[in-house]
Homo-oligomer: A and B are copies of this chain.
């Protein structure tokens, strides 16, 4: 099966350019939000009905390793992925237990906290995962 190949990631560190990789990256770029593997697979399948979930997983690992995307867990058993942002991409995710929306929260305190950890514990940070669960303003009134 031969496909149109979008080479707009050629300058990146991804070695062999394949149709599947182009497709996956362009979906992630357009989407600009957290996607899990299944959802990415669902969206990719609309353009390439033969793409397999294994390919999605393999390439997510590759993209992560090459620093193109970030992985977050957000308290789920599955993982979420999103394109890496430039600059201060440190943020806190607020996961609403009512509507399941994910709200991003940025604050200078996050950078300060990370700096404090590095200094006080001599710990060199490579990955930041910060999230809170609770109820957003629309979903207040928790069940109990």
Contacts and interface: CB of A to CB of B under 8 A. Distances in A.
25 contacts: A75-B129, A97-B126, A105-B121, A107-B113, A107-B116, A109-B112, A109-B116, A110-B113, A121-B136, A122-B136, A123-B132, A123-B135, A123-B136, A123-B137, A124-B134, A124-B140, A125-B132, A125-B133, A125-B134, A126-B133, A126-B134, A127-B133, A127-B134, A128-B132, A129-B129
A130 interface: yes
Question: Which 10 A-B pairs have CB atoms at the shortest separation, nearest pair first?
Answer: A122-B137, A127-B133, A125-B134, A126-B134, A109-B113, A130-B130, A125-B132, A124-B135, A124-B134, A94-B123
A138 to B, nearest CB: 9
A57 interface: no
Nearest to A112: B109
Nearest to A94: B123
Contacts of A75: 73, 127, 129
A135 to B, nearest CB: 5
Contacts of A110: 113
Contacts of A33: none
